[in-house]
A and B are shown apart, each in its own frame.
Chain A
Amino acid sequence: MENEGKKKIWSEYQKEIADDHFFYVRSCIRQSFYPGSEQFFLDFMRNVLGKDVFENPSHTTCTGIGYHGDIVPLSTIMTVVARHFALMKESGYKNIAISCVTSFGIYTEILETWKHFPEELEKTREYLFKATGREFDIPENMAHTSDIIYKFRNEIAAKAKNLLINRKTGEPLKVVEHIGCHYAKMFPKFGVGGAEFPRVLSGMAEAWGGEVVDYPERRHCCGFGFRQYLVQANRGYSISNTAKKFSSMEPYKPDLVLTNCPGCNMFMDKWQYTIKEMEGTTYGAEGDSIPVLTYEELAGLVMGYNPWDLGLQFHMVQSEPLLRKMGIEFSGEDKFKTKDGRQMPVPQNLINA
């Protein structure tokens, strides 16, 4: 009964995802905390699939953090976004590939605002021209990079060296998939599969041999949200939401958590450490914590990239238990060495190390 109903829902939430010629806009948090992810995306798209992914070095942050933190007003962020569209126009690109889910939410929100309030679009044209002398067009296609990886998930499966299967038991790995709230909750039609039973990450996990876990707090927000998290005093109830998700998924003994939002990835990863320090609670099997991976990192593992090239060592929760389950070879020695073999300082108190 379960799958038939879901397939019907997925068929109603299909979206157009462009095939090639992307203008890539990066994510502030993912660049800094999970740098291997965006590197994998570019390497995979350009060198494996031979696609054209263009980056303009003068693109800036979308200022989503500031907007959601009540520091950047709406007209400013609309102008910043319009500037990115202007950069796209100048380089001749019509498809935008967005790396961050908050950005994706901002872009969709702004495009919908311009659709329903054309006077705002006109004002933005004016502001941008006055500030920078640039002019812009609205992109033809807007995709989140997880949509693009979803689109090419079968190509990744075809080239897979390590499927999401536990080598010892032969069972599929249990994957908790967690989409960012701004990916689909605001406008379900912009998310593959909608907001209730999203398909973008579960489609990837299943194409690569994993089994997706449905747990009661599946839809719950991880608690990120800039305003409540930026102010230290508010962080308590922010982190409590992550704790709520983890206690809900714990009985299912998941092998990994898969996310497409930088904030969710950061929270689910780092808060496991914080909760462990504050309360001594861990959520994985036998006192371990659950590795939290971005979809690019997971795709990279599946395709046989070196885990240290993917940057897994920079996570709070180390991925060795997952790597062992998947039968991926890794070198403990090379873990904290630079590409040219120099030893970097080794962090203390790693979880799951």
Chain B
Amino acid sequence: MEKFGFTLSKARVIDYDANDRRIVDFILEREPSLKACIECGCCSATCTTGNFTGFSLREIHVLLKRGENDQVRKKIKKCMLCGKCSLVCPRGVNTRNVVFLARQAFQKFDSYAV
């Protein structure tokens, strides 16, 4: 194998059909209000954690819906469960419960998680 001083980059494209959406399906069954999310960002704007870390609840909703679970797995632990997001959501999504359920789902489907 030759080393040429560069490697092939990994594609950033979200391959929708290849992704696994069991996590978001688990959440939607138990918290159907997530269906009404329009990703307006009101939750992220007020978020305690989002102020100081790369945690964006709006982005997490989008990534879960696309099945980009790897991007969410670690970040979802950062939420402090303060509930500010649920207070401001204009569509009435129970965002706090979405975080709870996401954590449960990751535990359930990532068989190596303790």
Contacts and interface: CB of A to CB of B under 8 A. Distances in A.
The answer on direct contact between A and B (beta carbons under 8 Å) is yes
A232 B6 contact: yes
A324 interface: no
B17 interface: no
A236 B9 contact: yes
A100 B1 CA distance: 33
B4 interface: yes
Contact of A236 (B1, B6, B11): B6
A235 B11 contact: no
A87 interface: no
B7 interface: yes
A237 interface: yes
A239 interface: yes
B112 to A, nearest CB: 28
Interface of B: 1-2, 4-9, 11
B8 A236 contact: yes
Main secondary structure of the interface of A (DSSP, over half): helix
A244 B6 contact: no
Nearest to B3: A278
B69 to A, nearest CB: 24
B11 A278 contact: no
B11 A239 contact: no
A279 B8 contact: yes
Contacts of A239: 6, 8
27 contacts: A232-B5, A233-B6, A234-B6, A235-B4, A235-B6, A236-B6, A236-B8, A236-B9, A237-B9, A239-B6, A239-B8, A240-B9, A240-B11, A243-B8, A244-B11, A274-B2, A274-B4, A275-B8, A277-B1, A277-B2, A277-B4, A278-B1, A278-B2, A278-B4, A278-B7, A279-B8, A280-B1
Interface in A224-262: 232-237, 239-240, 243-244
Interface string A191-230: 0000000000000000000000000000000000000000
A233 B11 contact: no
A248 to B, nearest CB: 12
A233 B9 CA distance: 12
B5 A233 contact: yes
Contacts of A244: 11
Contacts of B4: 235, 274, 277-278
A240 B1 CA distance: 18
A319 B12 CA distance: 34
A67 B57 CA distance: 44
Contacts of A278: 1-2, 4, 7-8
A237 B12 CA distance: 11
